[in-house]
Amino acid sequence: MKSNGKRLPFQIKTIDLVVLCVVFALCVGLYIFRSWGVQEPGRHVEIFENGSLVYAAPVDEDQTVTLEGNTVVIFQSRVHMSRADCPDQVCVNMGTISRANQLITCLPNRVVVKLTGESGRDGVDTVIR
Amino acid sequence: MAVFRKLSLHAGPAFLACCLFALLLYGCNGRSRQVRTSETFLALDTVIEITVYGSDEGSNREILEGAKELCQWYEELFSITIETSDISRFNAAAGPVQVDPHTAEVVELGLHYSEASRGVFDITIAPVSSLWNFGESGAIPPAEEIAAGLKLVGYRKVIAKDLILDKQDGAQLDLGGIAKGYIADKLGYYLRENGVENALINLGGNILALGRKPDNTPWTIGLEKPFAENGDWICRIALSEGSIVTSGISQRYFLQDGMIYHHLLDTATGYPVQNGLYSVSILSKTSVEAEALSTTCFLLGLDAGMELVNRTPGVEAVFVDSSYRIYQSENLETAYEIQWEKASLSD
């Protein structure tokens, strides 16, 4: 039977398919690239003293930050509090942090050390102990 | 150019199709374009982290600033160390004290959970808890002081009625086991009122999730291994809309003669409970329930605590003992998606 009105108003040629595939691949590529960029930005260390930001740098920059009552050591993308002049030493005993959204806090000296960044696929949005 | 001449015949429909497709992809990704703003600050004697997603950084900041002020406002009402707070005024007074409606509400909730646990959890523990100082420099208070303090403990000695708090026999309040949960819930309401649909509140271990993340994935909560020095976690919990609160001994404690003296006090003896548990995490709809139950279950111990969880609807739990053995409530893994970190567990 002749399918009169059902014929496409144009014919699809190989070249059209090629163009479609290329643009399709570009779209998908761009989408993946963008999602990737959102999920895995570099982690930063932020140190707050009395509520104000006193240090901010990528976690892969080795650094020893000396504050009035505390010393924060950033070494090989890991962060720990090496000194605190407060009596409880909770922050020193807290050990090392290395993943996004982990925190070290020294309540008596009002110091917060934070690893910022999106949680990513294997990370967490927040931590409880 | 033969290629372009051939192409131009059909490029129109093909181009249109591609544009539509690109738009579709952008649309999928567009929801996650919401701006994430996070704020970390110290209040309520703990560290507070609030993360919100909203249309722009400016309004997010404004909302977070309001949340911060709300925390400080509640602190001025509930704090046991601020002399002018409702609670301090009540503790210092010999008779009835008029308080803010929010103070009355949180005290009533506290009395409710004290009653429900038959005094295992007790918001009138203040005369004993104030004797203990849980830092590295901490020491065991004299036995006679603990005994004297214990005589004043008993939730039935506090009566809350019409914004008036009254007392018998010098009773005092310590809202440490409930106030953060109450405030977390109130922060949740505040954020909702301000149009925030996706937010994560962490009030020093009291977590409340509003909705999910804008890409529709749940929030991931890392439950850290108690006393771990490298931030290992026991498990990761997928949380959308709800609360998780942990009561554990690893945050405020001191060591003496090989014993861990921590802040979770047995209301019958006045000393820290020694029941082989490191932590109890409770998952529930509201943070106030999760916090009251996490303290209660810790004090009850593994068997009675787990039994309480299993007969309370909508509540699940993870218990961790001192050998890092994990115990979970009956329906935990049907209600929540949990990824166990096998490496951190000992068998």
Tens-place pLDDT, residues B271-327: 999 999 999 999 999 999 999 999 999 999 999 999 999 999 999 999 999 999 999
Q: Do B51 and A27 touch (CB under 8 A)?
A: no
* pLDDT of B121: 95
Mean pLDDT of A45-49: 93
DSSP bridge partners of A63: A74
Tens-place pLDDT, residues B53-86: 999 999 999 999 999 999 999 999 999 999 999 9
Count CB-CB contacts under 10 A for residue A27: 18
Give the Cα separation of A103 and B198 in Å (integer).
22
* pLDDT of A38: 45
Which residue is associated with the tokens 């925190």?
A103
Q: Do B14 and A19 touch (CB under 8 A)?
A: yes
* pLDDT of B286: 97
* pLDDT of B173: 96
Tens-place pLDDT, residues B77-118: 999 999 999 999 999 999 999 999 999 999 999 999 999 999
Give the Cα separation of B32 and B34 in Å (integer).
5
Mean pLDDT of B21-28: 60
Count CB-CB contacts under 10 A for residue A94: 25
pLDDT-wise least confident of A10-24, A65-79, B179-193, B247-261: A10-24
Binding-face residues of B in 89-128 toward A, CB within 8 A? none
Which residue is associated with the tokens 């993308």?
A77
Residues of B in contact with A77 (CB under 8 A): none
Give the Cα separation of B175 and B111 in Å (integer).
10
B196 pLDDT more than 70:
yes
Residues of A in contact with B21 (CB under 8 A): 23-24, 27
